[in-house]
């Protein structure tokens, strides 16, 4: 099976990640920060090493790196942590339901209002102008994806961050698709809250994610419990990372995540991005020359896009095409990709889209085989 569903989760994982998870089970089996015996202390030290590694990778203070179960949990921590007591938030129509649904829930129960800006295929200047126009006196947060998980469109994160600073508004970024593909320096780029998955471009195991704070922000908590510190107090600690890390962390997963980050540092992000975007563009241009193929972006060019895009075969639903590809030995994803508003903008809310997303392990020969198969399917 040739795997082109890396926007959902990267597969396969590097060997060192698999070995690190195994070591997490064999060597780091204590509960970190909960006991004084040597196994617990050794495990706590390992967790700290990975936290420090992630802090360096994302340009953050080590205590501002918070381990989560996935990007969804990180986004909920960020969004609700700022808006739990009301306010206005601005987001875009590229967003995943992990952004849209927490906002909708807050609007229903917590006196939150929101504005969704249509940024699909707009220029940077137009995007910035529309976001600026949407700012109100009660705007607390602007949150947007670094890059779409459907079209691959990248947003001008640093320019949006600058706009936020000018208006004293917090800025959160959904980096589920960009972490491990694009360089992210939260402090240098002006990002207040960066949320990402550990199991996608960071090549860690499932059940891992990160919330990385660029600044000292006291978030409201949506989950409280044991932290191993200040246990006599009924209130949650105010210091990080303990404030947001109630309960036992996924130690084996964190070990694997650390190995994934090391793998990326060895490979180099620039090299990874160029490899992946070249494969995507090869597939995009190959499909563009076929009859009955519908594409939804004008290009898949380096610099403007992430290595992911969708297409359809005219007259068929995306799931029908995905089933045919699966029978032919290719793993792609059909449907709405948990991002309904962009599919609405594309006019694909009824049929969905077939999504192709590559990783560092994919090869040109696999793209060639895919295009050969699509020639037959498209006819």
3-class SS letters over 211-239: EEECCCCCCCCCCCCCCCCCCCCCCCCCC
Q: Does the pTM exceed 0.95? A: yes
Domains recognised in the chain with CATH numbers: 2-10+269-378 (3.90.1150.10), 15-266 (3.40.640.10)
Q: Is 65 helix (H, G, I), strand (E, B) or coil?
A: strand
- Give the dihedral of Cα atoms 209, 215, 218, 223; nearest 10 deg: 0
Report the distance separating Cα 189 and Cα 144, nearest Å: 14
CA distance 310 to 312: 7
Q: CA-CA distance, 208 to 67, in Å (whole number)?
A: 7
Dihedral angle sign, alpha carbons of residues 117, 171, 162, 168 = positive
In tens digits, what is the pLDDT along the chain, a chain of 379 residues? 999 999 999 999 999 999 999 999 999 999 998 888 999 999 999 999 999 999 999 999 999 999 999 999 999 999 999 999 999 999 999 999 999 999 999 999 999 999 999 999 999 999 999 999 999 999 999 999 999 999 999 999 999 999 999 999 999 999 999 999 999 999 999 999 999 999 999 999 999 999 999 988 999 999 999 888 778 888 898 999 999 999 999 999 999 999 999 999 999 999 999 999 999 999 999 999 999 999 999 888 888 999 999 999 999 999 999 999 999 999 999 999 999 999 999 999 999 999 999 999 999 999 999 999 999 999 8
Q: Report pLDDT for 302.
A: 85
**Confidence at residue 159, expressed as pLDDT on a 0 to 100 scale:** 98
């Amino acid at each position: 099976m040739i795997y082109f569903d890396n926007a959902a989760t990267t597969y396969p994982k590097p060997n060192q990640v698999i070995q690190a998870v195994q070591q997490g089970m064999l060597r780091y089996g204590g509960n970190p920060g909960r006991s004084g015996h040597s196994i617990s202390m050794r495990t706590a030290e390992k967790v700290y090493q990975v936290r420090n590694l992630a802090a360096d990778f994302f340009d953050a203070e080590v205590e501002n790196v918070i381990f989560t179960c996935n990007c969804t949990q990180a986004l909920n921590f960020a969004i609700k942590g700022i808006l739990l007591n009301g306010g206005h938030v601005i987001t875009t129509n590229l967003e995943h339901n992990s952004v849209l649904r927490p906002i909708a829930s807050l609007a229903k129960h917590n006196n939150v209002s929101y504005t969704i800006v249509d940024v699909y295929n707009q220029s940077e200047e137009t995007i910035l102008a529309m976001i600026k126009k949407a700012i109100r006196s009660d705007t607390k947060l602007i949150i947007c994806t670094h890059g779409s998980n459907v079209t691959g469109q990248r947003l001008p994160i640093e320019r949006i961050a600058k706009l936020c600073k000018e208006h004293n508004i917090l800025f959160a970024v959904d980096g589920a698709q960009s972490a491990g593909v694009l360089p992210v320096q939260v402090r240098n780029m002006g990002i207040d809250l960066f949320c990402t998955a550990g199991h996608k471009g960071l090549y860690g195991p499932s059940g891992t994610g990160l919330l990385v704070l660029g600044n000292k922000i006291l978030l409201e908590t949506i989950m409280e419990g044991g932290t191993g510190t200040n246990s006599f107090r009924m209130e949650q600690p105010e210091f990080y990372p303990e404030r947001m890390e109630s309960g036992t962390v996924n130690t084996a997963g964190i070990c694997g995540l650390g190995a994934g980050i090391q793998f990326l540092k060895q490979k180099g992000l620039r090299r990874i991005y160029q490899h992946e975007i070249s494969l995507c563009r090869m597939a995009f241009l190959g499909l563009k020359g076929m009859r009955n193929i519908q594409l939804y972006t004008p290009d898949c060019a380096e610099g403007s896009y992430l290595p992911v895009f969708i297409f359809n075969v005219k007259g068929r639903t995306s799931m029908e095409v995905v089933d045919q590809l699966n029978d032919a030995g290719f793993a792609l994803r059909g449907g709405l990709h948990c991002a309904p508003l962009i599919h609405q903008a594309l006019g694909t809310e009824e049929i969905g889209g077939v999504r192709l997303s590559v990783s560092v392990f994919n090869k040109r020969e696999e793209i060639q085989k895919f295009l050969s198969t699509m020639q037959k399917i498209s006819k």
